[in-house]
């Protein structure tokens, strides 16, 4: 078992880093969604799709 781990150490480290990065991205997206931030970051007023993207949310207000 130890020989397999040492033979594949680089792959194991790369996979661990990728999993950590993906987890951090998901956490950030969930926090931003709870705060009501948009994914593009520029706001809806300057967006070409401002009437389409959040039309159901805006109709409920």
**pLDDT string in tens for the chain (61-residue length):** 899 999 999 999 999 999 999 999 999 989 988 887 766 666 666 677 666 765 555 454 4
Residue 10 pLDDT: 97
Q: For residues 6 and 38, what is the distance between their CA atoms, to the nearest angstrom? A: 44
Q: What's the mean per-residue pLDDT of the chain?
A: 81
Asked whether the whole model's pTM tops 0.85, one would answer no
Residue 33 pLDDT: 82
Distances (CA, A) of 39 to 12, 21, 22, 43, 48: 31, 18, 16, 9, 15
Region of residue 46 (phi > 0: left; psi between -120 and 50: alpha; otherwise: beta): alpha
């Amino acid at each position: 078992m130890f020989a397999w781990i040492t033979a594949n150490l680089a792959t194991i480290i790369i996979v661990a880093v990728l999993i950590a990065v993906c987890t951090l991205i998901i956490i950030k997206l969930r926090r931003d969604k709870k705060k009501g931030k948009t994914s593009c970051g520029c706001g809806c007023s300057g967006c070409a799709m401002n009437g389409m993207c959040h039309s159901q949310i805006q109709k409920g207000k």
